[in-house]
Amino acid sequence: MRTRLLVPAAVSVGALLVASPPALAAGPAIQITKIYYDSPGKDTRSNTSLNAEYVWIKNTSSKTVAVTGWTLADASRHRYTFPAFSIPAGKTITIRTGSGKSGTSTRYWGMGNYVWNNDRDTASLRNAGGKLIDSCSYNSTKVSYKIC
């Protein structure tokens, strides 16, 4: 009886070892995929201009992921905190700097000034426990956005 119980356990361990390498290679399930940091035209601080600054966050996994309490921050510690919110499998959401009506695909930070520096900055995505999930840095004035 003891021997028969050990067999399924050994099979499970083997299955986990086989499944692990592709999961690690894929990176975090929730990723920062783009930062549009230098909104077009002059930085007039109009709401339209503020909202032309944005970050894309994608759920690259095959499952809905709850991001309630997660934060997106720049290097100067401006911080957006997600309310009760989930990102469906494979979907990308946009976090815009200015004000607007937040929905399932676009969230508005509600800032009255720009968050993302036009030359260099780092975006950090942390879970509700403060663990770093993903980050993306840029350092260029030649382009207006960074594909992460």
d(CA 44, CA 27): 37
Structure tokens at 13: 């361990």
Rounded to 5°, the CA angle 113-119-125 comes to 70
Q: Which of residues 20-49 bind Ca ion (CB under 5 A)?
A: 37
| Contact assessment for residue 30 and residue 128, using Cβ atoms and an 8 Å cutoff | no
Q: Which is nearer to Ca ion, 54 or 70 (CB)?
A: 54
Q: Which is nearer to Ca ion, 66 or 119 (CB)?
A: 119
With CB under 5 A as the contact rule, the residue among 82, 108, 116, 138 that binds Ca ion is 116
Q: For residue 11, report the phi and psi dihedrals to the nearest 5 degrees.
A: -65, -40
With CB under 5 A as the contact rule, the residue among 82, 114, 138, 145 that binds Ca ion is 114
d(CA 104, CA 85): 8
Instruction: Give the binding range for Ca ion (CB under 5 A) out of 19-27, 61-69, 113-121, 139-147.
Output: 113-121
Q: Is 108 in the site for Ca ion (CB under 5 A)?
A: no
Binding positions for Ca ion, rule: CB under 5 A: 37, 53, 114, 116, 118
